[in-house]
């Protein structure tokens, strides 16, 4: 069926809070398809750029090739349709394409070279540094075995200035360390890479910590390697997008004398091979797994059965170590042959041969909480508890056996063995329910929710929390569990964006109110309004109506009796006011929106007049409020008031780069008031186009 432009924009907004996966991909592709049918070129461009980012940062970068290629062609065909921000995003995303193409053996190597040449032409034409170009030339050379060229590009990059198109201070060292490790320059890799372990980049710390594992081990820094592994794996374990980094951590297990730990990781994550991010990541993961399995075979454990978790209703049959090793070895050889044929050398097959034959480097590295014996994998306490469960079952004391299973599940989770912990806890909760132990069953459900999150199974975690909140009497809930409002917020976070999540945040807000926790109450209300889909009807219904009613009563309670608008919790109250305005604006209630924004303005101005500590953040908040207020006045056909608000915002702003939206508002107001020369000067100063004005007026 066809969709209107408004429906498409709402569907696009709804994808922002969706988890990565088939549903989000399908929604984005539906928006693109209908936008193309309606001829909405600029909108289709924006959606495709957003989709490119989603695909690139999930496990589906191959999908990004199509969306990015369309955007690049559209930009080259009609550059006048787009602004400098679009060009910058295209040049940034071009780096992603180059980093991905060589990881697919079916894509000719010449395609990657052509993309690099095109990247350099575009960067030179725009006056940009070649820092990123040299970085990616080096990574391509390293991936295809041309280590001399990789070193040359590395040294050139080190002498080239960074600019806004360079990777961040965390990612650049990560790629450099990868090259240095391939060159055998371990000490230099460690010196360069260690500062990046503290980077705030979203790609860190899993990438740099994974890259540093091998140089740490080769230089005898076992403790640092163990810590890097722990830090990296905490970030890796939840997403198949990190299959490549997981391969490095598996190889670490083989190198460090921890095949038991490696076996745990293989059991938990082997299913990720079915949706491997790229063939290169699949090959490296499989090769590292073979290294672990080969170590087990060498230790006499080839007949040991691997047990795999159930994923999306499917479970791989138990498989002996020896059989899985043979299966994965064949997979590695097949992929390596395809890469070698494409690259014209035997670099990848040689490298993967070294990986699959990897043995210990130096002395074994102890890992706290992780067993090294593949038959026990968890230590004496796990054995004692397992024996106790078996004895109680034999004795017919099923209730005591269930309690022992619960204790065993907690111990397994503490030992970072979440899959086994889930199995024990599932059995325990069934028996505890059957034998009328609701308090212990509630504690077990709480444990299962934590295990679900540990395993990246957000849906399973959310379901257990629902049971805990909706089906368990508060009178029997153990005191060791977090308070109900905190459980509601956790469930809301797991649910993502939508009315269900918003309803949970509303319940949390009411719970915090009952406990007198005003700051948390306000924060939960903000989230409730942000999570709820926007309503374009005059009369809110259902959850949204309840949220807005709660917000109004909360604001009245907090603001009542405060002198000169000097409310406590200024930042939180302003956030509630802005969330409220966001929801009612779509219904055309611009006068009410302006009144609330005036309240927010007064609160912020009063707080800023009192001085630090958070004055800088609140100044930026005030600029945003003033801009929104000006927009509301413009909708109310009050250009003088809109101009005053916009000019007040511009006067406050410290960063000229943050004033574009405000300048756009002021330019529109000046046009309405007939000050066309002043509007033109403002537009020139802030690079505002006529299309920008038209789009803002339409919106």
| pLDDT above 80 (res 85) | yes
| pLDDT above 50 (res 372) | no
Helices marked H in 435-541 — which ranges?
438-454, 458-470, 484-495, 499-514, 518-531
Q: DSSP labels for 210-239? A: HHHHHHHHHTT-HHHHHHHHHHHHHHHTT-
CA 555 to chain centre: 33
Do 501 and 467 have their domain in common?
no
Q: Which has the higher per-residue pLDDT, 617 or 172?
A: 172
Quote the CA–CA distance of 80 and 550 in Å, as a whole number.
47
Residue 49 pLDDT: 95
Do 524 and 609 have their domain in common?
yes
Residue 644 pLDDT: 93
Residue 199 pLDDT: 65
The mean-pLDDT minimum among 3-7, 151-155, 235-239, 518-522 falls in 235-239
Quote the CA–CA distance of 428 and 447 in Å, as a whole number.
11
CB–CB of 443/413 below 8 Å?
Answer: no
Q: Which has the higher per-residue pLDDT, 562 or 25?
A: 25
Joined together, the tokens standing for residue 175 give: 């790629």
| pLDDT above 90 (res 585) | no
**Structural domain includes residue 467:** yes
| pLDDT above 60 (res 699) | no
Q: DSSP labels for 558-608? A: HHTT-GGG--SSHHHHHHHHHHHHHHHHTTT-HHHHHHHHHHHHHHHHHHH
| pLDDT above 50 (res 439) | yes
- Which residues are paired to 319 by β-bridges? 306
Give the pLDDT mean for 587-611: 85
Residue 31 pLDDT: 94
Q: What mean pLDDT is reported for the chain? A: 86
Under the banding of pLDDT at 50, 70 and 90, the label for residue 96 is: very high
Do 608 and 658 have their domain in common?
yes
Per-residue pLDDT reduced to its tens digit, 602-652: 888 888 887 665 544 678 888 889 999 998 999 899 999 999 999 998 888
Joined together, the tokens standing for residue 416 give: 């970072």
| pLDDT above 60 (res 653) | yes
Do 618 and 556 have their domain in common?
yes
Give the pLDDT mean for 414-424: 79
**Structural domain includes residue 399:** yes
Domain count, the chain: 2
419: left (phi over 0), alpha (psi -120 to 50) or beta: alpha
Do 529 and 640 have their domain in common?
yes
CB–CB of 183/151 below 8 Å?
Answer: yes
> Phi first, then psi: what are they for 35, rounded to 5°?
-65, -40
**Structural domain includes residue 401:** yes
CA 139 to chain centre: 24
Residue 541 pLDDT: 58
> For helices 41-56 and 84-101, what crossing angle results, to 10°?
40
Residue closest to 544 by CA, chosen among 603, 592, 587: 587
CB–CB of 444/406 below 8 Å?
Answer: yes
> Cα dist. 594→70, 599, 626 in Å?
41, 9, 10
> Cα dist. 238→235, 458, 546, 640, 653 in Å?
7, 9, 34, 53, 40
Quote the CA–CA distance of 404 and 160 in Å, as a whole number.
62
Under the banding of pLDDT at 50, 70 and 90, the label for residue 656 is: low
416: left (phi over 0), alpha (psi -120 to 50) or beta: left
Q: Is 320 helix (H, G, I), strand (E, B) or coil?
A: strand
Per-residue pLDDT reduced to its tens digit, 252-267: 999 999 898 898 789 8
Which DSSP helix (H) or strand (E) runs through 255?
Answer: helix 243-255
| pLDDT above 90 (res 65) | yes
Q: DSSP labels for 268-291? A: HHGGGGGG-SSHHHHHHHHHHHHH
Domain that holds residue 609: 497-698
Under the banding of pLDDT at 50, 70 and 90, the label for residue 279 is: very high
Under the banding of pLDDT at 50, 70 and 90, the label for residue 230 is: confident
434, 452, 481 — which closes off a domain?
A: 481
| pLDDT above 80 (res 300) | yes
| pLDDT above 90 (res 485) | yes
**Structural domain includes residue 587:** yes
Q: How many CA atoms lie within 13 A of 484 on its CB side?
A: 22
481, 515, 545 — which closes off a domain?
A: 481
Radius of gyration (Cα) for the chain, nearest Å? 29
Residue 538 pLDDT: 40
CB–CB of 316/419 below 8 Å?
Answer: no
Q: Terminus-to-terminus CA distance in the chain, angstroms?
A: 24
Residue 379 pLDDT: 60
Residue 371 pLDDT: 40
Residue 561 pLDDT: 55
Residue 535 pLDDT: 56
Residue 690 pLDDT: 84
Do 511 and 429 have their domain in common?
no
Residue 390 pLDDT: 77
Do 584 and 461 have their domain in common?
no
Give the pLDDT mean for 183-193: 92
**Structural domain includes residue 586:** yes
Residue 214 pLDDT: 95
Do 687 and 565 have their domain in common?
yes
Greatest alpha-carbon pair distance for the chain in Å reads: 92
Percent over 90 (pLDDT), the chain:
41
Give the pLDDT mean for 679-691: 87
**Structural domain includes residue 261:** no
Quote the CA–CA distance of 255 and 647 in Å, as a whole number.
63
| pLDDT above 50 (res 66) | yes
Give the pLDDT mean for 416-429: 81
Under the banding of pLDDT at 50, 70 and 90, the label for residue 212 is: very high
Residue closest to 538 by CA, chosen among 598, 575, 583: 583
Whether residue 205 is preceded by a cis peptide bond, meaning omega within 30 degrees of 0, is: yes
Do 538 and 655 have their domain in common?
yes
- Which residues are paired to 305 by β-bridges? 320
Do 465 and 501 have their domain in common?
no
Let me know the angle formed at the C-alpha of 533 by 531 and 535, rounded to the nearest 5 degrees: 135
Residue 369 pLDDT: 40
Do 529 and 677 have their domain in common?
yes
Q: Which has the higher per-residue pLDDT, 4 or 654?
A: 4
> Cα dist. 544→225, 328, 331, 590 in Å?
50, 52, 52, 18
Residue 571 pLDDT: 82
Do 502 and 466 have their domain in common?
no
The CATH number linked to 466 is 1.25.40.10
Residue closest to 84 by CA, chosen among 522, 696, 688: 688
**Structural domain includes residue 640:** yes
Residue 331 pLDDT: 97
| pLDDT above 70 (res 540) | no
Residue closest to 135 by CA, chosen among 182, 95, 191: 95
Residue 602 pLDDT: 87
415, 448, 481 — which closes off a domain?
A: 481
Joined together, the tokens standing for residue 500 give: 């269900």
Percent over 70 (pLDDT), the chain:
92
Per-residue pLDDT reduced to its tens digit, 568-583: 678 888 888 888 888 8
Give the pLDDT mean for 373-395: 70
Quote the CA–CA distance of 52 and 94 in Å, as a whole number.
10
Which DSSP helix (H) or strand (E) runs through 686?
Answer: helix 676-686
**Structural domain includes residue 367:** no
Give the pLDDT mean for 457-485: 85
């Amino acid at each position: 069926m066809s969709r209107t432009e408004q429906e498409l924009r709402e569907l696009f907004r709804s994808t922002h809070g969706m988890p990565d996966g088939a549903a989000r991909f399908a929604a984005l592709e539906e928006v693109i398809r209908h936008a193309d049918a309606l001829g909405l070129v600029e909108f289709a461009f924006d959606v495709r750029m957003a989709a490119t980012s989603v695909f690139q940062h999930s496990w589906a970068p191959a999908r990004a090739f199509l969306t990015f290629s369309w955007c690049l062609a559209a930009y080259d065909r009609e550059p006048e349709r787009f602004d400098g921000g679009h060009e910058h995003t295209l040049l940034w995303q071009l780096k992603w394409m180059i980093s991905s193409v060589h990881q697919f053996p079916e894509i000719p190597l010449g395609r990657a070279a052509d993309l690099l040449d095109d990247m350099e032409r575009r960067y030179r034409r725009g006056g940009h540094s070649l820092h990123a170009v040299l970085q990616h030339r080096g990574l391509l050379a390293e991936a295809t075995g041309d280590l001399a060229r990789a070193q040359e590009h590395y040294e050139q990059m080190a002498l080239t200035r960074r600019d806004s198109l360079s990777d961040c201070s965390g990612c650049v060292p990560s790629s450099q360390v990868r090259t240095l490790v391939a060159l055998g320059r371990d000490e230099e890799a460690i010196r360069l890479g260690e500062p990046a372990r503290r980077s705030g980049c979203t790609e860190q710390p899993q990438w740099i910590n994974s890259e540093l594992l091998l140089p740490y081990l080769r230089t005898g820094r076992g403790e640092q390697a163990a810590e890097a592994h722990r830090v990296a794996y905490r970030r890796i374990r939840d997403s198949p997008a990190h299959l490549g980094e997981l391969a490095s951590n598996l190889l670490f297990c083989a190198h460090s004398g921890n095949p038991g730990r490696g076996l745990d990781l293989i059991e938990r994550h082997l299913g990720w091979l079915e949706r491997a991010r790229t063939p290169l990541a699949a090959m490296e993961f499989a090769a590292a797994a073979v290294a672990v399995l080969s170590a087990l075979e060498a230790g006499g454990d080839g007949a040991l059965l691997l047990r795999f978790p159930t994923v999306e209703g499917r479970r791989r049959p138990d498989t002996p170590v020896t059989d899985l090793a043979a299966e994965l070895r064949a997979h590695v050889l097949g992929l390596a042959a395809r890469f070698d044929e494409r690259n014209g050398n035997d670099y990848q097959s040689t490298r993967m041969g070294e990986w699959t034959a990897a043995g210990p480097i130096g002395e074994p590295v102890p890992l706290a909480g992780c067993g090294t014996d593949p038959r026990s994998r968890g230590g004496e306490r796990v054995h004692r508890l397992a024996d106790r469960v078996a004895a109680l079952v034999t004795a017919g004391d099923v209730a005591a056996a269930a309690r022992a299973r619960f204790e065993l599940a907690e111990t397994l989770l503490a030992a970072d063995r979440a899959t086994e912990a889930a199995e024990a806890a599932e059995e325990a909760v069934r028996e505890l329910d059957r034998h009328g132990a609701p308090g212990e069953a509630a504690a077990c459900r709480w444990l299962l929710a934590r295990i679900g999150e540990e395993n990246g199974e957000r849906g399973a975690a959310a379901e257990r929390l629902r049971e805990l909140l909706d089906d368990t009497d508060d009178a029997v809930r153990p005191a060791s569990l977090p308070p109900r409002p905190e459980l509601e917020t956790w469930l809301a976070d797991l649910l993502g964006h939508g009315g269900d999540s918003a309803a949970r945040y509303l319940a949390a807000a009411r719970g915090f109110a009952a406990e007198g926790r005003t700051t948390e109450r306000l924060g939960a209300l903000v989230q409730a309004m942000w999570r709820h889909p926007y309503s374009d009807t005059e009369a809110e219904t259902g959850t949204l109506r309840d949220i807005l009613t709660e917000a109004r009563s909360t604001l009245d309670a907090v603001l009542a009796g405060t002198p000169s608008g000097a409310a406590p919790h200024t930042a939180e109250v302003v956030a509630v006011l802005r969330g409220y305005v966001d929801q009612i604006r779509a219904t055309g209630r611009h006068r009410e929106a302006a009144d609330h924004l005036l309240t927010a303005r007064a609160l912020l101005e009063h707080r800023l007049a009192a001085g630090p500590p958070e004055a800088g953040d609140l100044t930026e908040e005030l600029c945003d409020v003033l801009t929104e207020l000006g927009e509301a006045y413009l909708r109310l056909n009050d250009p003088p008031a809109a101009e005053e608000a916009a000019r007040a915002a511009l006067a406050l702003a410290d960063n000229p780069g943050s004033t574009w939206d405000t300048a756009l508002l002021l330019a529109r107001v000046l046009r309405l008031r007939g000050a066309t020369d002043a509007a033109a000067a403002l537009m020139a100063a802030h690079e505002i186009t006529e299309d920008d004005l038209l789009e803002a007026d339409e919106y």
